[in-house]
Structure formats: structure tokens, C-alpha cells
Amino acid sequence: MEISRTPASNQRQLVALTTDSALIRALQDLATDGTPVFILSDLRALSDELLQHAGAVALIDASSLDAPIDGVVDAFSTQFPDLRLLVAGQTPDQTMLTRRIASQAVFRFVHKPASPQRLKLFLDAAARPDMPRGQVAPSEPVFTDSSSLRRIDTAVRGRSPLMLGMIGVLAIAAIAAAAWVFWLKDNKPAAPAVAVAAPVTQPVSSPAALALIRKADRAFADARYVAQDGSSAAEFYREALKVEPGNAIARKGFDRSVDYGMRRAEEAMVAGKLNEAAAAAEALRPLATDNSRLAFLNSQIEKEQARVNADASQRAANEARQGQIRDSLTTMSERMRRGALLDPANSSAIMYFRQAESINPADPQVRSARDALVGALLTAADAELTGRKAPAARRLTDAASTLNSSAPGLDAMRRRIDEFTEQQVAASAAAEAARAAEATRAAAAVAAAAAAAPVAAAAPKPAASTEAAPSVVAATTLKLVRSAPPEYPQRALEQLVSGWVDMEFTVSRDGNVKDIVVKASEPDRTFDSAAVTAMRRYRYEPVMRNGAPVEQRARLRVRFTAKDGR
């Protein structure tokens, strides 16, 4: 959370890691005075922010960490040697950091709860161009012994471990010589005391230890700080300590090698080189068993490895699903080429598409395959309809509708199927009427022949009086003179309801419509009244049989479509 990114003059930025609401409020109040404050919630973000803002002051809330605060301080001191670090916490946290506060690894310890004013004082102190971190003020004692040792300490700063040993030998020799002169001068029996102290303080008295230290120095110069193969500086120094446990040069060299090895592991961790960081940490494990920095580093490596493994598992699962989708769609395409769109049901194109869709319906491959399959189904439906196979065409169209109910061309195909079905019904009715008329004509011919016989005195009856009218024909077979569009029911129009009404009616001898009966409707009774009202205004040419008009029963389906009704 960024509170301010406009640093004030002569003022450093404050980068704070905390999840404590009270401390966050105090930092927000501090920001209102123009102090640039960044509030973060995890260590990685803190490290990234400090890399971007060189010279910033860091504040770490000990209660917001899931790792020991001393390890975190050591890690950030290594990564950012010149960092002014403030730590907020309670008395136990301060006790844990006593040594690091004394060495200025922790610039100030902030007791919680902290006020904005107190935070401002600490930030101003950290922002002052003071001495470099880790260098004590002149008034602070470096050692508790003599000024001679202070001068020796100043002289050996920055020297190699081997050089430190040589300087130590010379320094102790100088001290021994001074003691001898003092004894001769005062004629006091101080020699036994010197003779006893000399072996204890002598840095190197064993040739074996000196040889190991020389090997360790060469390994350190070659940057072979830590390893487990017996060739690293830390291992040679450790062997020297086994030969001579009190050897100060070996101790310092060992500590320094471990510190450099720790830095290398931490840098690899920050760079995202987990394998390298884990190998370095494993090499450090037997050398620094109780090191808090190593414990913190191991916990960070474990967390990062768990995250990487989880990401890898997720990627593997995604790749497996993608493979299943590809296999199903490949088989679907093969079935489409063979024309097996719907049959057999357990090995059809639509069945394999459903498999892919069940894995991930939003996958781009699945959406593209759906469009291709719908197009293939409608193309097959058109071919079936051209072959006058309306039921097969309707089955294919219905299957396409289950995949995409708003697919282009779907409604047009349905209308074509309905029109073809009506035409088939009308043709069947016309054929039935023709057969009935033929039967009537044959009967009339037989009657006429019988009437012409000599025994028949009476005149024959007109053929028209004995001719029966066909039962019911499709209205599309009759010639329509006038039609009237039905009035769309307002309620159905508002709700965008579509439907149809099947009616039977009689075309009278003068062509008018009468005896209208609703046979079926969908939805039930929604459009009945409108259809009947419109049907009464229809007019047809009279049906003629044997030169005379006759009444004819007919049927018609009136469709209601909401978009047309508008």
C-alpha cells in the first residue's frame, strides 16, 4: 500500500512491513505531514521496494512475520549493508535483538504501540547523514582492554585471515617483550605469569593448524567458501579448529566463510535460483546448525519451492486437460468427416464434443468446434430435406439447437421443415380427394348406365345430387381470394410469446368461411380468439365439382411469431 510517493526535501522514504492496524494508522498519520511512506505485507515485496528506492529507511513489525525476527534482520543486513533498519515490537523482541541493536544492525527499536510523533523522531534520526552503519562513535569503547589492543584492532581491519594471524603473533610478541623489560627493570618475578599466558594467547603454535589455515585462505581467495567435499574454506578452518580449538584466526576465518556462503545462498534465493540456494543451504547445514539466518533462509526456500511445485502441478493438470480436449475434438472431427454426426450414439461426433465440453466449455478450441459441428448438422439437415426426409432433417436440426439455440440459419431451417411438412400433408389430402372423386365418378357412370336401360322409365337423377364432397383438405390446395392478418394478443407480444393455431373450417358455395373449429393450439388458448377472428374474414374461390359449386371442409395452421407481431 503506497501512502506517498513524493519525498519531502532532506527526508528519506520509509518502507514499512506490517499488518498491525494500529501501526498502519500511525504510519498513515505520519504520511499526512509529507513523509513518503510505503506499507507492505510480505518480505519479498519489502526487498523489491528497497532495491527500487536506494537509501530508504525500513521498518519491520516483528509481530507481522512468520519467521524469527533475528533471522530476518540478519538476512536484510546482508542484502542491504547500508540499510537503516527500524524494528517495531515488544520487550521479548528487543531482548532477542540486543546484540544486533548494539552492533547497529538494528538502528532503533520501536516499542509498540508507537505514535506518529515517535516514528517521526526515529525516521529523522535515521535520515541524518550519520556515520556508516556498524561504525561506533568515538565516545563508545571498542574493547574493554587497553588502548594498545584498540590500535591493533584498527590495524587489522580488512586483512586476510593469514595476515591476521601474523599480526597477532607480532602483537603478542611485542606485549611479551614489554613485559620482559618491565620485569628486568623492577626485578619482579613476573616471568612465570608471562610464561603461562603465552601459550594460551599464541594464535598459531601447531604446524598442522597453520597448514590447514593456509589451505583455507587459498580456498577463500578462490571463492570456495562453503561445501561438503573437503575443499572449501569453511571446512579447512573447521579442521584447523579441531587441531587447535582456541585458534582465533581459524575461528574468524570459519565465521567469515560461513557468512559469505550465507550471502551467496541468500542472493541465489532473491534471484529466484531455488536449486542453487537449496544446495548452498544444504552445504551450510552441518557448518551452522544453530544459525538463525540459515533457519530463516531454509523456511523461505521451502515456501518458494512449495509455491513453484503448486504452480507446476497446476500447469501439469491444465496440460492434461488440454490433451483430453484435443483428443476428444480430434475424434469428433474424424466422425464428422465420416458423416457419423448423431449415430452411433456412443461413438458419434456430438458425443465426443460433449466430452470436450464437459472438461472446459469456455476453452477456445471447444467454442470453435461447437460452431463447426452446428454447421455440419445444419448442412446435413438441408441434404435430408432435399431428399424429402423431413423427420431426419428435424432430428439433425434439433441436435444443432441443443449445441447453440441461437445459431445462424437454425430458425430458417425449422421454417423450411415446417413448410415442407405442410406441403406433404396438403398433397396427401389432395390425393385422397382425387381418389374419392374418381370413385364418385365411377359410381355415377354405373348409375347412368342402369338408367339408360329399357326397363327404366324414369329419368336419371343428376350426377351432382349423388356426388359426395371430400372430407377435409389442406387450405393451401384452395385458391385464396382474400386473407386477413390476425391481431397479435398484446400480452403475448409484451412477453415475446410465439405459437400457432390449427383450425378446420368450411368453404361455402359462395367462397365464404364458416363453421370454424380450433383443433389444437400452442400455447393453449393464447392465440385461439385472434386466429378465429381473422379466419372469418378469409374468402376463397368456390369449389366446383361437375360444373356446380359445392361446400368443402379445409384445415389451416396460423402461426404467431413475436418479432413479426411487433
Measured between alpha carbons, how far is 87 from 70 in angstroms, rounded to an integer?
10
CB 466 within 8 A of CB 450: no
CB 562 within 8 A of CB 492: yes
pLDDT digit string, tens, across residues 122-131: 888 887 765 4
Residues with Cβ within 8 Å of residue 53, at least 6 apart in sequence: 13, 15, 38
Does residue 155 have a pLDDT over 80? Answer: no
Confidence of residue 160 (pLDDT cuts 50, 70, 90): very low
Does residue 142 have a pLDDT over 90? Answer: no
99 sits in which H/E element: helix 98-102
Cα–chain-centroid distance for residue 391?
46
Q: Locate 509 and state its grid cell.
A: 358455395
- For the chain, the structural domain boundaries read 14-127, 170-197, 318-408, 468-565
Does residue 384 have a pLDDT over 80? Answer: yes
Beta-bridge partners for 503? 518, 556
Measured between alpha carbons, how far is 18 from 42 in angstroms, rounded to an integer?
8
Confidence of residue 206 (pLDDT cuts 50, 70, 90): confident
Q: Locate 465 and state its grid cell.
A: 345430387
Does residue 195 have a pLDDT over 50? Answer: no
Measured between alpha carbons, how far is 337 from 350 in angstroms, rounded to an integer?
13
Q: Which of 17, 82, 16 is nearest to 55 (CA)?
A: 82
pLDDT digit string, tens, across residues 24-58: 888 888 877 777 888 887 888 888 888 887 788 99
Q: What's the mean pLDDT in 451-468?
A: 50
Confidence of residue 151 (pLDDT cuts 50, 70, 90): very low
Cα–chain-centroid distance for residue 249?
55
Task: Tell me the residue length of the chain.
Answer: 566
Measured between alpha carbons, how far is 460 from 392 in angstroms, rounded to an integer?
53
Q: Which of 78, 71, 109, 73 is nearest to 92 (CA)?
A: 109
Measured between alpha carbons, how far is 236 from 213 in angstroms, rounded to an integer?
7
Does residue 437 have a pLDDT over 90? Answer: no
Residues with Cβ within 8 Å of residue 411, at least 6 apart in sequence: none
CB 382 within 8 A of CB 393: yes
Residues with Cβ within 8 Å of residue 176, at least 6 apart in sequence: 194, 198
The predicted pLDDT at position 453 comes to 60
502 sits in which H/E element: strand 499-507
The predicted pLDDT at position 163 comes to 47
Confidence of residue 255 (pLDDT cuts 50, 70, 90): very high
Confidence of residue 305 (pLDDT cuts 50, 70, 90): confident
H-assigned helices in 452-561: 463-466, 490-494, 528-535
> How many Cβ atoms are within 10 Å of 101's Cβ, its own excluded?
17
> How many Cβ atoms are within 10 Å of 181's Cβ, its own excluded?
10
Which phi and psi (to 5°) does residue 342 adopt?
A: -120, -25
Residue type, 191: A
Does residue 366 have a pLDDT over 90? Answer: yes
Angle formed by the axes of helices 233-243 and 207-221, to 10°? 170
Confidence of residue 182 (pLDDT cuts 50, 70, 90): very low
> How many Cβ atoms are within 10 Å of 386's Cβ, its own excluded?
10
Q: Locate 55 and state its grid cell.
A: 537509501
Does residue 161 have a pLDDT over 70? Answer: no
Strands 552-560 and 480-482 turn out to be unpaired
pLDDT digit string, tens, across residues 223-244: 999 998 999 999 999 999 999 9
The predicted pLDDT at position 290 comes to 82
Q: Interior CA angle at 205 toward 199 and 207, to 5°?
A: 165
The predicted pLDDT at position 430 comes to 78
Confidence of residue 212 (pLDDT cuts 50, 70, 90): very high
Does residue 291 have a pLDDT over 90? Answer: no
Q: How far is CA 531 from CA 190, 489, 562, in A?
A: 134, 10, 15
pLDDT digit string, tens, across residues 62-79: 999 988 898 899 888 887
Residue with cell 396438403: 426
- Please state the pTM of the whole predicted model: 0.36
The predicted pLDDT at position 410 comes to 92
3.90.1150.10, 3.30.2420.10, 3.30.2130.30, 3.40.50.10800: which CATH number matches 468-565? 3.30.2420.10
14-127 classified as CATH 3.40.50.300: no
CB 20 within 8 A of CB 89: no
The predicted pLDDT at position 147 comes to 38
**Would you give the DSSP letter of residue 342?**
S
Does residue 288 have a pLDDT over 90? Answer: no
CB 57 within 8 A of CB 12: yes
Does residue 5 have a pLDDT over 50? Answer: no
The predicted pLDDT at position 277 comes to 92
